[in-house]
Structure 1
């Protein structure tokens, strides 16, 4: 089922390099662009749209290219970071604004960071949720991820690289796979310490879902919410979403000239203390005085997993609106 529409939510489609981008906006005032991650779409910001609108902002949550009602280019290379950044700039312009605050979650955090890095004239501040900022550079990503896990396990990022491989696991039962994936990374339902890590697959025919919790939904995800997510991905498939992972080496090459570059605009970070993204990237968080020199604050929410703005909507809303108010001041 689809979420019940309200008079305040405005769906629209704008022209962008992707072809068309669908977005949902609410409120009036300074523009705040919300960018989702994997595997989500605009709906993951359903708690933030009304809160930002009530605080005096024009909140716009996009469907990233490849997701939801936005265009889904066929070519794998059409999902490189540079193209996603240009999509975001096009949205700001299409909405009649010169600049916006951009906030991203998961892959959206990386996309928001790259947007701020490459187009500071269009993005005057950046909020990052769940995935910390790490400047471009370092070894080739697929080389790094290929070594993670050892001879018996394969890291999920490597598993996603081959077109069609992950789709063959996911698409016969989209709803069941999404339920397990969301539960596996949620603070209240993730596997306990010592259980097989759901970020890996067993080499030689294993599947990610073999390690997902079964028969349980996290508290933030109702059956109706799951229906909304499943309905979108059953309609679109997962290839557009997975193609983001398949461009990491292209991104590494495209952004080489920005190796080590800080983001100098005002910034905010919030993550879940139980999220692997924050524990594995603790060094990136520690480096914020150098990499995010205008950081307002960095927050780790106790007991929270990966889906931070859905697991802890009131806390995230309070953090965002307080930070935005400070920017206005």
Structure 2
């Protein structure tokens, strides 16, 4: 059942299932909380209380917000964890990976561990040679189209972001994404997120005090070298706190393409870092 938390400027929609230590899941931009449809039941079955939130501007959360930065999203997530009693392990995908970094740095009493799935957590560096990587080049072009408000660019981006193996419900899922983004204000929110910079998250990496698991897909088209991106995030964290895991064959959505592998990594991390 959907619940709503009122924060400054709007409401955040979320649902909670299961009992046990708290795990909060935050999707990436352009997604609703059903992005974790393959992950949530597995975590609940393993003995965790799982909260999944819609980001500001997405799903059942309020549509219109003054801004859509990672710092904004972090504040929403911290408010939710505090509302649910905390502490929690916070899982963030893509833009929410950066937001999770900020949340962990700003609320160390509430967050005992962070899992970042294909995160945009640091300012991107561009090299001319990167354009020789076909997937990276196409993804960049399609994200630019999304930034200009073209829904078709986003759906084409998603096609490329799931290289090879797609979820069994892919056609239905993609139709749901498109339907949500056609609702008033939702595409504007997605545009706002595409225009936000990860510099605020990168600036907080050195201030994180809890363990961090970074998960990257080996075929993620958002980076010419996904492994190098993950290694750079780990290197920017305080020594010994970060660990990188690669999912071979996965793109930008490893938790939807390879949920068994991702959940196995998460459960190992949770066993060490989740607190009742």
Tell me if the contact between 2:118 and 2:215 (Cα under 8 Å) persists in the aligned partners: yes
The secondary structure found in structure 2 opposite 1:182 is: helix
How far off is 1:319 after superposition?
Answer: 1.2
223 and 159 in structure 1: CA distance in 2 versus 1, 3 angstrom threshold: closer
Counterpart for residue 156 of structure 2? 180
1:120 & 1:277 partners in 2: Cα distance?
29
Q: Are 1:224 and 2:172 matched, yes or no?
A: yes
1:43 & 1:84 partners in 2: Cα distance?
18
How far off is 1:60 after superposition?
Answer: 0.9
Q: Are 1:276 and 2:221 matched, yes or no?
A: yes
Deviations 1:217-254 (A, max 9, x none): x3444322223222222224311122012232xx64x6
Deviations 1:102-143 (A, max 9, x none): 001111111111211222222121001112644xxx7xx7xx
Counterpart for residue 245 of structure 1? 194
Instruction: Note the residue ranges of structure 2 that are not aligned, 5 or more in a row.
Output: none
Q: TM-score, normalised by structure 1?
A: 0.71
Tell me if the contact between 1:68 and 1:232 (Cα under 8 Å) persists in the aligned partners: yes
Count of matched residue pairs: 267
Counterpart for residue 166 of structure 1? 148
The secondary structure found in structure 2 opposite 1:243 is: helix
How far off is 1:157 after superposition?
Answer: 8.7
Find the partner of 2:119 among 131, 134, 150: 131
Find the partner of 1:233 among 181, 184, 191: 181
Q: Which has the larger radius of gyration?
A: 1
The secondary structure found in structure 2 opposite 1:285 is: helix
Tell me if the contact between 2:215 and 2:230 (Cα under 8 Å) persists in the aligned partners: no
Q: Are 1:324 and 2:273 matched, yes or no?
A: no
1:20 & 1:104 partners in 2: Cα distance?
19
Tell me the C-alpha RMSD between the 2 structures. Answer: 3.1
Find the partner of 1:264 among 209, 213, 227: 209
Deviations 1:67-90 (A, max 9, x none): 111112253xx2123222111111
18 and 99 in structure 1: CA distance in 2 versus 1, 3 angstrom threshold: farther
Find the partner of 2:231 among 271, 283, 286: 286
How far off is 1:277 after superposition?
Answer: 4.0
